[in-house]
Amino acid sequence: MDIYCYFCVLLTLPIDVMFLYTDFSTFLKKYFEFKVQKLSVNAGFSCPNRNGYIGYGGCTYCNNQSFNPDYCTGNRSVKEQLEDGKMFFSRKYPEMKYLAYFQAYTNTYEKIEILKRLYEEALAVENVVGLVIGTRPDCVSEDLLGYLSELGRHTFVLLEYGVETTDDALLERINRGHTFDCAAKAICLTARYGLHVGAHLILGLPGQAAEQMVEQADILSDLPLETLKLHQLQLVRGTVMAREYERYPSDFNFLSVDEYADLVIGFLERLRPDIVVERFTSQTPKELLIAPDWGLKNYEFVALIQRRLKERCTYQGRLWKGRMD
């Protein structure tokens, strides 16, 4: 019996005992014996393509309000934000531990002395057991990676890079201000320092063909990535891209739920099987979202992907052409 037929036999098994894809909760269980929850932090940073260092206006799709919890404001201390976040979760999960998620803007874009103070302020908060740091690939130095590597000897540290696309022309169009080569080098350097490293990728950017989106799985699989977040393109109020849409609507092709699910499955099939897929979708507050409005919660889309993978007898890495060392 070949592997494909063998996998089809597994259709009789419940989803939770089948391998469909490598999920984030399974990844966290390798490092923690208890439940952990990310708590977002807005430390008041900016971005080099926002403040004039390499450009103005920021990424064309970005409105930080679309993913920042209400308690996250840059005029409150890191500790205050984390304590508020803990209060929300501790009512239901009193034994929960937390990862401080430096999420808003570019969280390594500051003098290293200031970064150290903010990161250590977070780690000093009771029940905070690690850091997740969202940043740009052009905003990390070896000095910073060395410091984070030392932290990583006794606490969990994950750097998440906004890769967004592997296509340099699209990176220019969305005003990222860096190339994919820059992202690849930052990921490799971070891994060499022994740090956990992840990436964000947007599917459905203007001008992206479906095959081009799926091919990115091959490219990312060649990098020493541990985690990956996928995001469907969402048009958000208050962004440069929203204004572009008003002027050139034909440049945009928003995917339906079914189209995006098929795209994600094709992507997963070609993705290296040990890369942890942390999420498949983003969820923008309804008052900020222009399109596409699917009316689905993230967990509902996850259930849809799991069901379709099972129905199609397929799984992450089935068409991956590499080899695990």
- CATH of residue 251: 3.80.30.30
Whether the per-residue pLDDT at 248 is higher than 90: the answer is yes
Query: What token pair was written down for 246?
Result: 């008003």
Is 243 exposed, middle or buried, given 0-12, 13-18 or 19+ CB atoms closer than 10 A? exposed
CA angle 113, 119, 121 (to 5 degrees): 100
Query: What token pair was written down for 79?
Result: 């500790």
Question: Is position 322 within any domain?
Answer: no
Whether the per-residue pLDDT at 9 is higher than 50: the answer is no
Per-residue pLDDT, 91: 83
**Which domain does 102 fall in, by range?**
3-311
Per-residue pLDDT, 324: 75
pTM for the full predicted model: 0.91
Question: Is position 266 within any domain?
Answer: yes
Query: What token pair was written down for 219?
Result: 């490219």
Per-residue pLDDT, 89: 87
Question: Is position 317 within any domain?
Answer: no
One-letter amino acid of 147: Y
Per-residue pLDDT, 214: 97
Whether the per-residue pLDDT at 1 is higher than 50: the answer is no
Percent of the chain surpassing pLDDT 70: 91
Question: Is position 316 within any domain?
Answer: no
Question: Is position 202 within any domain?
Answer: yes
Question: What domain count does the chain have?
Answer: 1
Task: Supply the mean pLDDT for the chain.
Answer: 91
Least confident residue range of 85-99, 139-153, 298-312: 85-99
